[in-house]
Amino acid sequence: MANLIYATMKGKKQGLISAGCSTFDSIGNKYQTGHKNGILIFSFEHEITRMSNVNHRQVSFIKPINKSSLLLGVAISNNEELEIINSTIKIFNFYIFHMIIILR
């Protein structure tokens, strides 16, 4: 069985992007009690390469369509810096133009 990932996203300009994302109003009966302000992430990928210098490649994740979907679109348009926090992944700070988002 796969582990569930719940990420909290804070934008430098928009604030808490993931507010209310895991509620019945946002995703219907898929919501989980205790993760009200988390975004359910189905898969997460990040690549690091090293030839002579360390290069961080794009960060990609697949998530359901919820309250954060439009706010992430605004963040992409405005090149907003995001902080993504998860209890198992720790903290990543990056500019959102490096991110590929697939909505399902």
Question: Domains in the chain and their CATH numbers?
Answer: 5-103 (2.30.110.20)
Half-sphere exposure of 57 (CA within 13 A, CB side): 9
Spatial distance between the Cα atoms of 8 and 17, rounded to a whole number of angstroms:
8
Give the model confidence (pLDDT) of 4-21 as tens digits: 788 888 889 999 998 988
Amino acid 92: pLDDT: 53
Give the model confidence (pLDDT) of 27-75 as tens digits: 888 777 788 888 888 887 878 788 888 777 777 888 888 888 899 889 8
